[in-house]
A and B are shown apart, each in its own frame.
Chain A
Amino acid sequence: MSEVQAETPTVADFARTFRRIQAEIHKLIIGHEQAVEELLSALFAGGHVLIEGVPGTGKTTLVKTLGLALNLSFNRIQFTVDLMPADITGTRVILSGDDGRREFTFQPGPVFCHILLGDEINRATPKTQSALLEAMAELQVTVSGTTYRLKPPYFVMATLNPIEMEGTYPLPEAQLDRFLFKVRLNYPDEGELTRIISSTTGPEEAGIEAVFHATEAPERIEALKRLVREVMAAPAMEIYAARLVRATQPQNSRFVADEARGVHDEMVNRYVMFGSSPRGAQALILGAKVRALLDGRANIAREDIERVAVAALAHRIMLNYAALSDGIDAAHIVERVIKSVRAAQV
């Protein structure tokens, strides 16, 4: 363990801490640099992450490694079809006291931790999936009329298996919208795969060194999250983020009030059923702030927004059947939107 920064972190402290965490994670996770960076960006932006990847790409390992590097409390829930909400949030049970009296006592569920891994979240029923909503959005859990606060930092990472769709329940849009970023883990390339083989089949296991002391980790991370919020966003950048989000909304949507204004791409009109919500704009700016700090700046730039746009917007865009039949994915739509808005700004 090592000391990382003073009480009030500086921009340089943030970048240094971020890079250290990255380095620790990459001791176990080979490749996936962008995914790791987006994961940490979401953590310091105060959001949650949905990790999508085919089996064996290191989703669970990534989350576990993050917990170890941050030295924060970590829980894992394996979502199954028979998982109940109380299995997540906790429930009231009858316990006997020292004096022999029996009373209902709240038994906290796995949601009470700093880092929660919801593995294969789409295997649980929507009812169970929704049990996470309150915890993710408001950092609290209500059980039997009693609200319990979660200790910050609170970071939910849920994994999705996109190819085993049998017996799964796609996440409702409200649930999806709660995730700041959606990180995609693709298959490693040949070089990465070779390194994975050599590092995981040998006698030695890579040891993860925690970046923070267990006692001070939550405060340090919260301080870094506050620093992210201090990064300045010029009105032009906020307008740019808003235009990007609006450009993901199809003109023919009945939920778009002033379709005559703003930038619109024909591809959006053809393939998008619903565009991003305002949370998408918030995610853009928060992610851009993290990117700015990593670049040693106290202000965000257009490049920062564009860098996080796919992660922030893709899972908020609902495509129609035409997109599915034409093989168009949301990331492609976001890239087209970025080009359209950038061209309109010039």
Chain B
Amino acid sequence: MSSPSQDRRADEKLGQILGRVGSVRTRLNSLALQHAIFYTLAIVVAGGAAVFAGAYLLPPLAFLVGTSALVIIGCAGIARAVGAAWRMRASAVRAAAIADDRAELKGRLSTIVALANHQTRGSLWSYLIEDTLGYQDQFAAARIERRRVSRAIYPLAAAIVLAAVALPISKIKHAPQIAPDSGQDDLTVDLDDLHLRSADPGDESGMQVTADAATMRRLEDKLARESAAGGAAGGNSLSQLVNRARDMAGHLQSKLTGQQMASKQRLNLRLADAGGDQDQNEIHRAPETQKNRHSDIAGQFEQDQPKSNQGMNLPPEDDSRRPNSQPSPSGNGESGAEASSGKDSPGNQDDSATDREIQQSGENGSNGGAAHGIGADPDSLFGAPAASKLGTEGFEIAIEARPVDHGAKGAGHAYVAPKVRTRLSPNQEPDEPVARAAVPAEDRTTVKRVFER
């Protein structure tokens, strides 16, 4: 049995052993902490880079889905990394067990650490201490765990490199779809041609709307009617959700890329009241926009579809269901969806197949397509020459101009993308129908035969 002096010396030696085990434990816990931090950072950096690149490269819905998936995967990855680090953490007993294994000490350290606080240690305790201390070089922290920095730094470095490479590439590869200066900084639009809906909460597009007091009152009335009509129609809630999600994703993309805000703030919308004293079917556009639209199909509408002109004087809700009317840029999919699905509105029930062609071709997103449809009817091929100016029914306005895809086009209440009006390239012709021109009487039979085929 050991004497008190032997016990005291054994306690000092025990302190040395426990100190070494403590340093091993500190190193192991440091590595565990680094594991959690580095992996979390790696996931955040890689995920952030992917989201940022996605904001440039993906359409809104795909961006939303991708971002959501990334967030879920990232959260799971972070939780997994933290969990792994938590499991890697070492208590004194575990650090001793690891040291035992790596230094092949056959449980000496584990036994010492486990029994260090026991009151009765047995007669072999001092022998165990002496015996273990003889191996002290083998269980130094540097020998048990050589690494000071966790291997998790490699994924972090890879994530940083990935981010550094991916972000510039995404910017280079994908030029903004909206021209920096479209020149559409001032629009005059007839109130009857607008489809309105309430703005999304938080939508700070910066659109400036100006009108006289009467027009503003009509605008408010129309807004109320459109809202009521939208609520009564009920619509496809899934479609609404999709649209809302798309808007949200678009806003997020805009914030990430910084593109949308600039284009929105360029627009200044001036409302005209078609029911007032001024020319009721006239919509003034900015001069440069008018230059880009040389075609005029108003004449065709006047001749072939006399009701169309009357339609301009119809109440706004009827007018809003015209096939070549477009949804509001903020994505009111209801009226646009009706138009695209070919659902007959009361004002259009007397229209011929020509009208349906207008509806169908209206999905192509241009008045030109609609006018071509009209022209394809051999019975209405010839009429008075069209004026060079656009008629009131010949174009749409796009209040929000941003790149969107045409997803869910075939659905009953499909989302109809807002029209994008950008300045055309000097080398590009506008996608407009050829204006009606006078056809010599002797050629009409030939032309008609061609179209009848």
Question: Which residues of A come within 8 Å of B, CB atoms?
Answer: 8, 10-11, 227, 230-237, 295-303
**Does A302 contact B107, Cβ atoms closer than 8 Å?**
yes
Q: Is the CB of A299 within 8 A of B1?
A: no
B127/A11 in contact, CB under 8 A: yes
Min CB gap B124→A, angstroms: 4
Which of A10, A295, A299, A303 touches B111 (beta carbons < 8 Å)?
Answer: A299
In chain B between 71 and 119, which residues have their CB closer than 8 angstroms to a CB of chain A? 93, 97, 100, 106-108, 110-112, 114-115
Nearest chain B residue, comparing its CB with the CB of A232: B111
Q: Give 25 A-B contacts (CB < 8 Å), ordered by A residue.
A: A11-B124, A11-B127, A227-B124, A230-B122, A230-B124, A231-B124, A232-B115, A232-B122, A232-B125, A232-B128, A234-B107, A234-B111, A235-B114, A236-B107, A236-B110, A237-B107, A237-B111, A296-B131, A298-B127, A298-B128, A298-B131, A299-B106, A299-B112, A299-B128, A301-B100
B110 touches A298 (CB 8 A): no
Interface: B5 (CB within 8 A): no
Q: How far is the CA of A78 from the CA of B77 in the complex (A)?
A: 71
Query: How far is the CB of B18 from the nearest CB of chain A, in Å?
Result: 15
Interface centre among B97, B100, B107, B124 (most CB of A within 10 A): B107
Query: With an 8 A cutoff between CB atoms, is B278 at the interface?
Result: no
Whether A297 contacts B106 by the Cβ 8 Å rule is yes
Q: Which residues of B contact A299 (CB under 8 A)?
A: 106-108, 110-112, 128
**10 additional contacts, CB 8 Å, given A227-B124, A237-B111, A299-B108?**
A8-B123, A10-B127, A232-B122, A232-B128, A236-B107, A237-B110, A297-B108, A299-B106, A300-B111, A302-B107
Indicate the member of B93, B111, B123, B128 with the most A CB atoms within 10 Å: B111
Cα–Cα distance between A296 and B128 once the two chains are bound (Å) = 10
Minimum CB–CB distance for B196 against chain A, Å: 65
Give the interface SS of chain B, mostly helix, strand, loop or mixed: helix
Closest-by-CB residue of B relative to A295 is B106
**Closest chain B residue, CB of each to CB of A229:** B122
Q: How many contacting A-B pairs (Cβ < 8 A)? A: 58
Task: Give chain B's interface residues, CB within 8 Å of chain A.
Answer: 1, 93, 97, 100, 106-108, 110-112, 114-115, 121-125, 127-128, 131
Which residues of chain A have C-beta atoms less than 8 A from B114's C-beta?
234-236
- Report B-chain residues with C-beta under 8 Å of the C-beta of A298: 124-125, 127-128, 131
Residues in B neighbouring A302, C-beta threshold 8 A: 107
B345 to chain A, nearest CB (A): 68
The smallest beta-carbon distance between B113 and chain A, in angstroms, is 8
A234 touches B1 (CB 8 A): no
Please, how many angstroms separate the alpha-carbon atoms of A10 and B106 in the complex? Answer: 19
Q: Are B131 and A234 in contact (CB under 8 A)?
A: no
CB distance from B94 to the nearest CB of A (A): 10
Report chain B residues within 8 Å CB of A234.
Answer: 107, 110-111, 114-115
Whether A8 touches B1, Cβ cut-off 8 Å, given contacts A236-B93, A236-B110, is: yes
Which residues does chain A contribute within 8 Å of B111, judged by CB atoms? 232-234, 237, 299-300
A237: chain B residues at CB < 8 Å are: 107, 110-111
